[in-house]
């Protein structure tokens, strides 16, 4: 019965959603809206995708954890779009029957910073996002959304609140002394981050990301060892062979108590 429900729900979630009106998938599992935002002093456009979830449902962060489905965006149908930067708000940690997942309940406002190819000209945003949504079961969802972004726009307090909820940078959090040991394994490398207890504070979970979407990252295992928090993940390239790893691209995010901390780059011990 659960398998049948999952299949029917997956079909329902594949209905495209257009922005501008408040679109919704059948069953009201997830609704999507583009917030048009404003033009920044740098000439970029700060917009946002707002996802509203049915009570009890959640969706996932860019690194979703053991059983989550990572979100995937396709911007190729857009016009006058040179670059997109996603500013993820600090996520929550969920314990799903002993499995750790990372994401958002009820609502996700995801700020989207758009760099136009032709500054000053309208941006025709036409995008598709594949993501996972989960209640007692987890299913894939596919949403399509469009928006024309032109003019100066207006500052939106909803987007501004989401930007303020982003993880702190290492400098903002006063974090220093984080190092990463990189050891070869048969099909890639193993990264072990050592985070001083003073830097981790009350945060109990760290997530390691390679900074390259083509490199697969295992679930990060986190443990306390003396006065440090140790986080370990295996990184495997498409070739499945040992590889050179850019330490500057490594990303370590500390999650747990209060706001998250986003550490870009990880030097050797």
**Domain presence at residue 26:** yes
- Residue range 87-127, pLDDT digits in tens: 999 999 988 777 888 999 999 999 999 999 999 899 999 99
**Secondary structure in 3-state letters for the chain:** CHHHHHHHHHHHHCCCCCCCCCEECHHHCEEEEEEEEEECCCCCEEEEEEEEECCCCEEEEEEEECCCCCCEEECCCCECEEEEEECCCCCEEEEECCEEEEEEECEEEEEEEEEECCCCCCEEEEEEEEEEEECCCEEEEEEEEEEEECCCECCCHHHHHHHHCCCEEHHHHCCCCCEEEEEEECCEEEEEEEEEHHHHCCCCEEEEECCCCCCEECCCEEEEECCEEEEEEEEECCCCCCCCCCCCCCEEEEECCCCCEEEECCCCC
User: Residues 30, 52: contact at Cβ < 8 Å?
Assistant: yes
Residues 94 and 120 in one domain: yes
**Domain presence at residue 180:** yes
User: Residues 109, 35: contact at Cβ < 8 Å?
Assistant: yes
Residues 34 and 88 in one domain: yes
Confidence at residue 17, expressed as pLDDT on a 0 to 100 scale: 37
Which of 130, 146, 164 lies at the terminal end of a domain, its last residue? Answer: 164
- Segments forming the whole domain that contains residue 152: 2-164
- Residue range 220-241, pLDDT digits in tens: 999 988 888 999 999 999 888 7
- Residue range 159-182, pLDDT digits in tens: 999 999 999 999 999 889 999 999
Say what the pTM is: 0.85
Which of 164, 183, 201 lies at the terminal end of a domain, its last residue? Answer: 164
Q: How many domains does the chain have?
A: 2
- The answer for residues whose C-beta is within 8 angstroms of residue 34's C-beta and 6 or more apart is 19, 20, 47, 48, 49, 50, 125, 145, 146, 147
Residues 30 and 84 in one domain: yes
Residues 79 and 186 in one domain: no
**Domain presence at residue 73:** yes
Residues 106 and 159 in one domain: yes
pLDDT band at 208 (very low <50, low <70, confident <90, very high): very high
**Domain presence at residue 269:** no
User: Residues 233, 217: contact at Cβ < 8 Å?
Assistant: yes
User: Residues 73, 127: contact at Cβ < 8 Å?
Assistant: yes
Residues 116 and 142 in one domain: yes
pLDDT band at 254 (very low <50, low <70, confident <90, very high): very high
Residues 156 and 28 in one domain: yes
User: Residues 128, 74: contact at Cβ < 8 Å?
Assistant: yes
CA distance 92 to 34: 23
Residues 74 and 148 in one domain: yes
Residues 27 and 110 in one domain: yes
Residues 145 and 205 in one domain: no
């Amino acid at each position: 019965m659960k398998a049948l429900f999952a299949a029917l729900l997956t079909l329902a979630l594949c209905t495209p959603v257009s922005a501008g009106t408040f679109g919704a998938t059948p069953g009201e599992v997830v609704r999507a809206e583009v917030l048009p935002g404003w033009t920044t002093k740098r000439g970029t456009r700060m917009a946002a995708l707002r996802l509203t979830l049915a009570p009890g449902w959640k969706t996932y962060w860019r690194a979703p954890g053991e059983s989550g489905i990572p979100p995937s965006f396709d911007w190729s149908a857009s016009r006058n779009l040179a670059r997109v930067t996603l500013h993820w708000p600090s996520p929550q940690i969920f314990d799903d029957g002993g499995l750790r997942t990372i994401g958002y309940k009820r609502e996700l406002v995801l700020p989207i910073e758009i760099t136009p190819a032709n500054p000053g000209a309208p941006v025709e945003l036409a995008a598709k996002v594949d993501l996972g949504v989960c209640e007692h079961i987890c299913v894939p969802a596919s949403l399509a959304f469009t928006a024309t972004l032109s003019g100066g726009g207006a500052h939106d307090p909803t987007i501004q609140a989401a930007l303020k909820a982003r993880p702190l940078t290492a400098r903002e959090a006063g974090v220093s002394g984080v190092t990463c040991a990189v050891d070869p394994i048969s099909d890639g490398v193993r990264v072990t981050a050592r985070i001083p207890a003073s830097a981790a504070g009350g945060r109990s979970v760290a997530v390691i990301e390679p900074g390259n979407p083509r490199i697969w990252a295992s679930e990060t295992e986190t443990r306390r060892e003396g006065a440090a928090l140790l986080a370990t993940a295996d990184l495997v390239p498409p070739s499945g062979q040992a590889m050179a790893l850019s330490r500057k691209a490594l990303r370590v995010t500390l999650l747990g108590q209060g706001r998250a901390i986003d550490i870009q780059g990880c030097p050797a011990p």
